[in-house]
Structure formats: C-alpha cells, structure tokens
C-alpha cells in the first residue's frame, strides 16, 4: 500500500524502495510479490528506464506463464 501511495504521488524513487521491500519481506506471498514486480516495472517506465522496466515485466512472465498477471506483463512489454 505504501508503494502504491508513493506511485500515485509521482514519487517513483520512494515507490521503488517500497516495492523492493515487498519483494524482500513478503516473497512467500506470490500475488503480492508479482504485483510488486509489475509496479516496479511501471515505476521504472515512468523514470524512463525501459531496460529495468522490461526486466521486471519479464520476471512476472517467468513466474506466471499464463493468467491475468502474465497477460498484463505481456501487454506492457509490447507497449515498450
């Protein structure tokens, strides 16, 4: 939630820190982990770091070959 709040405030650097923390602390919660990867990709895209964004979206696809989250990651990759 903190990462989302920072993201909505266009505070992308603090959002990245919060989303990385989700990956570190809550990695056993697959949905949270995967959604944090998607939002990390979004943050990097806002910061014009397309390479990092691409890596985050690919990480989602590596974790989930199918499903809603994989579709979203694929869609975002194609938009890069």
Ordered structural domains, the chain, with CATH: 2-79 (1.25.40.10)
Name 32's Cβ contacts closer than 8 Å, sequence gap at least 6.
22, 26
Tell me the whole-structure pTM to 2 decimals. 0.88
Secondary-structure breakdown of the chain: helix, strand, coil percentages, each rounded to the nearest 5: 80, 0, 20
Residue-wise pLDDT tens for the chain (80 aa)?
899 999 999 999 999 999 999 878 887 888 889 999 999 999 999 999 999 999 999 999 999 989 999 999 999 999 98
With tokens 């990695």, the residue in question is 27
């Amino acid at each position: 939630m903190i990462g989302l709040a920072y993201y909505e405030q266009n505070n992308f650097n603090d959002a990245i820190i919060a989303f990385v923390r989700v990956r570190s602390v809550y990695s056993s919660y697959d949905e949270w982990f995967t959604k944090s990867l998607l939002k990390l990709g979004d943050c990097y895209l806002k910061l014009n770091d397309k390479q990092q964004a691409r890596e985050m979206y690919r990480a989602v696809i590596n974790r989930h070959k199918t499903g809603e989250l994989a579709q979203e990651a694929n869609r975002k990759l194609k938009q890069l």
